[in-house]
Each structure stands twice: as C-alpha cells, then as structure tokens.
Structure 1
Amino acid sequence: MSDSWGLCKGCKWWQIEPDASVTDQTAGFCIDEKLQPFQLRITGNGGCNRFAAGKPARAEGSSEKPPEAAPQR
C-alpha cells in the first residue's frame, strides 16, 4: 500500500458543501487535478493513493449528481 493512501474526509482534494459536516457518509467531489475529468463524487470514508492531508475544500454544488461546483483549489 502506498504511503500517500488515505481517506477522503482528511484530504485537501475532497470538496464538500459549505455547510456540510466532515463525516464518513458526507458526499463530496474529488478535485485532484488528474481525477477532475471523471467528476468523481465520493463519501468521506472513500479513499485512494492521491491523498494529500488537509482540510476539505468547500463549494456549493459539490454533492450534486454529477458535481456542479468548480474546483476551489
């Protein structure tokens, strides 16, 4: 397993609604540059090897299907 693997809820590339709580079930949008074309909507307990520790970004429309928010980082 990669040292850079981690959960979305602790990743700076996870973007959620402005008023959303950071929980396992909160739906958000992965804004990692290489994954943006896929408009990946994922919950906080998802994870991958593109993890970068930090607080999630926030923008209105991040939890829509598909996400409607522009990446904020």
Structure 2
Amino acid sequence: MSEQWGLCKGCKWWQIEPDASIEDQTCGYCIEQELQPFHLRITGNGGCNRFMAGKPARAEGSSEKPPTTVPQR
C-alpha cells in the first residue's frame, strides 16, 4: 500500500470501460485487492491512500451499478 494519496484517474487499481476516457467524471471500479469485496464504483476525481501510480485497467462492465466485471490485474 502506498502512503501517498492520489486520484483514481491516475491509479492502476482503477478499472474502467474499454472505450472510456480517463476523466474526472468517468465512473470505474476500484480493484485494489482489499477493497474488491466492496465492489466500489468511483469516479476519476475520487481518491485514497491506496493509490498506486499507473494506467487504469480496462474491462466491460466496470461502470455498471454495481460493477459486473472481474478485476483485470
């Protein structure tokens, strides 16, 4: 876990639709291992201290309510 807080849109644990733009209001699914049981759906301008810099993962169903996909990492 990173001690540095960061935005979801710059985090490798944020998973979005395959054709989605990486924007503040884009909805995605947090796939950080300890948060997976919560099926956390969050926008790109959300953030937390589990931030890990990287490109978001992509999978169909990541923006559904609740997410209907599985983590891709």
TM-score (norm 1): 0.96
Matched with 1:55 is 55
Aligned residues: 72
Q: Percent identity?
A: 81
Structure 1 residue ranges without an equivalent (≥5):
none
Name 2:43's counterpart in structure 1.
Answer: 43
Whole-angstrom distance in 2 between the partners of 1:3 and 1:33: 16
Aligned to 2:64: 64
The gaps in structure 2 that reach 5 residues or longer are: none
Amino acid in structure 1 at the alignment position of 2:44: G
The residue aligned with 2:27 is 27
- Secondary structure at 1:35 match in 2: helix
CA-atom RMSD in angstroms: 1.0
TM-score normalised by length of structure 2 = 0.96
Deviation (angstroms), 1:3: 4.2
- The whole-number CA distance in structure 1 between the counterparts of 2:69 and 2:62 is 5
| 1:12-23 alignment, distance < 5 Å | 12-23=12-23
The answer to which structure has the higher helix fraction is: 2
